[in-house]
Structure 1
Amino acid sequence: MRCIIIDDEPLALELLEDNIKYVDGLQLVASCRSAAQAMQAMHEQQIDLVFCDIQMPGITGLQLVKSMVQKPLIIFITAYNQFAVDGFELDVVDYLLKPVPLERFLKACSKAQTIFDQQRRLANDIAGKNRDHIFVYADYNLVRLSHHEITHIEGLKDYVKLYREGQPKPLLSRMTIKALEEQLPADRFYRTHKSFIVNLDHVQSIRKGRIKIGSAEIPYSDNYRDVIGRMTGKAV
């Protein structure tokens, strides 16, 4: 899960950053000192889990969560227990009181992971990811593509390029890379960069920030380094 933490106290941010290091499967994307910074981070990339303080200058944690249209999983971490009812009315994963023991923090993360996995399985079923193909619009046609023939995908703002095995030119389709990623099986297609998705079946080698597929070399960024570990079963 890709997560951010939000707290106006630097010490609290440091403690949370240290705790997250103990949680397998969590990737810290951003540490934010305000709701405004958090909103910017969530606008720029996919966030699955938010650790959020409540009492902050300006927009409070409660106000921030209430304003979210598409809400990630939320764990409130605060020094005040009087907001617990408000927090759970927002359907948050957990409500932790500072100072948070590591054991309690890990329990909350485990609960979030369980919910996240359930949501993904449901989303996969709804999206029909159990099928072996997708349909995309390209050149004014609805084109059927098998999962296997797609080698990698490049995102270009509101368009994607779909590269296919044995085809010199990619298909260009008007959609976001995020929307396409949601239609593909997560056990085969991996986001390795904000602009690239690779099909594990076609990966030949990985070296020095580059993934080789045929004659193409696809970058992977530090923000997605944990993805390479999940994809290969090896630390990179």
Structure 2
Amino acid sequence: MNARCLIVDDEPLAQRVVEKYIEQMPMLTLAGKCSCAIDAVPYLNGGGVDLVFLDINMPTLTGVDFLRSLRNPPLVIITTAYPEYAIEGFELDVVDYLLKPIPFERFFKAVNKALDRLRLGAAPVALAAMPVPEPLSATENAVLAVKADKRIYKIPHSTILFIEGLGDYVTIHTVKGKITSHDTMKRLEAELCRPDFLRIHKSYIIAAGRVEYIEGNAVKVGEELIPIGKSYRDEVLPLLEG
């Protein structure tokens, strides 16, 4: 797969860094560079962009406001020097949030996460379907406590669909919506009991009872097709299939 990328950043140095990183990854092609969000519109309207590296603090129109204005946005990786915008960015379903100066290792991980989404989005979703199981009874009365927006939320285990790791943040997707918290996948994995909850990818923990079907290296949970990481596949597939 080759992903067409657009850089939207008003800092020439930041543009050059991302452009250099793109050149080092053969699965990426640079479609263009813009110094302001408004200049990106023709690229997106033309449908020739799969992934946008988007700065937030730009003149005229911020990256967040620009992203909110898009009806059908491509995948977005935020690149910024301002960590305070992280939660707002994740609420807009960005792929990842990279803080400047961006190490190549973090850039590489974010791009691979985006490519996983692109591959799943392009794959057919019509192979052997499994019946939708009821949420597991062991989780009925249990709750997961997380801090967000200066509050402590108590999320019933029975309402959780999956948890997504996003840099230094996690997003808990539930039947009622989602909550983003400054937390770690390691802590949540330790707190959520197996086999009700399974870590199937470095970036995903799923509620096993919410899996609709398994297709290749992915599972359908709610509206999402979630990848199974290579290092998790041999361990979790027997649990899901059984």
TM-score by length of 1: 0.51
1:213 alignment partner in structure 2: none
Partner of 1:192 in structure 2? none
1:85 corresponds to which residue? 87
* Structure 2 counterpart of 1:60: 62
Query: What is the aligned residue count?
Result: 125
Aligned-partner residue type, residue 119 of structure 2: D
Write the deviation string for residues 25-75 of structure 1: whole angstroms up to 9, x where unpaired.
111100110011111211234211000000000110001111111111000
Paired AA for residue 52 in structure 1: L
* C-alpha distance in 2 between matches for 1:11 and 1:108: 20
Amino acid at match of 1:112: A
Structure 2 residues not aligned, in runs of 5+: 128-242
Match of 2:52 among 31, 50, 53: 50
For residues 96 and 21 of structure 1, the distance between their equivalents in structure 2, rounded to whole angstroms, comes to 18
Any stretches of 5+ residues in structure 1 without a counterpart? Answer: 127-236
- Tell me which amino acid in the other structure corresponds to 1:33: S
Q: Tell me, yes or no, if the aligned pair for 1:53 and 1:76 is still in contact at 8 Å.
A: yes
Instruction: Output the CA distance in 2 between the equivalents of 1:118 and 1:55.
Output: 31
Paired with 1:11 and 1:45, the residues of 2 have a C-alpha distance of: 27
| Percentage of identical aligned residues | 44
Greater relative CO, 1 or 2 (CA 8 Å, sep 6+): 2
Distance in 1, matches of 2:11 and 2:60, equals 14
Residue 32 of structure 1: which of 31, 34, 37 is its match? 34
CA contact (8 A) 2:54 2:79 kept: yes
Deviates more, 1:40-49 or 1:58-67: 40-49
Deviation at 1:114, TM superposition (A): 0.4
User: Who is 2:21 aligned against?
Assistant: 19
- Residue equivalent to 1:6: 8
Query: SS at the partner of 2:93?
Result: coil
Instruction: Give the Cα–Cα distance (whole angstroms) in 2 for the partners of residues 91 and 122 of structure 1.
Output: 22
Alignment root-mean-square deviation, CA: 1.5
Asked whether the 8 Å contact 1:23–1:109 carries over to 2, the reply is: no
**Which of 98, 101, 105 does residue 100 from structure 2 map onto?**
98
Q: TM-score, normalised by structure 2?
A: 0.50
| Matches of 1:49 and 1:122, distance apart in 2 | 21
Structure-1 separation of matches of 2:42 and 2:106: 29
Larger Rg: 1
2:59 partner letter: P
Q: Distance in 1 between matches of 2:124 and 2:81?
A: 35
Stretches of 4+ moved more than 6 A in 1?
Answer: none
Letter in 2 for 1:121: A
Can you list the C-alpha shifts for 1:102-158, whole angstroms capped at 9, x where unaligned? Answer: 0110000000000110011047x59xxxxxxxxxxxxxxxxxxxxxxxxxxxxxxxx
| Equivalent residue in structure 2 for 1:75, among 67, 71, 77 | 77
Write the distance in 2 (CA, Å) between the matches of 1:100 and 1:83.
16
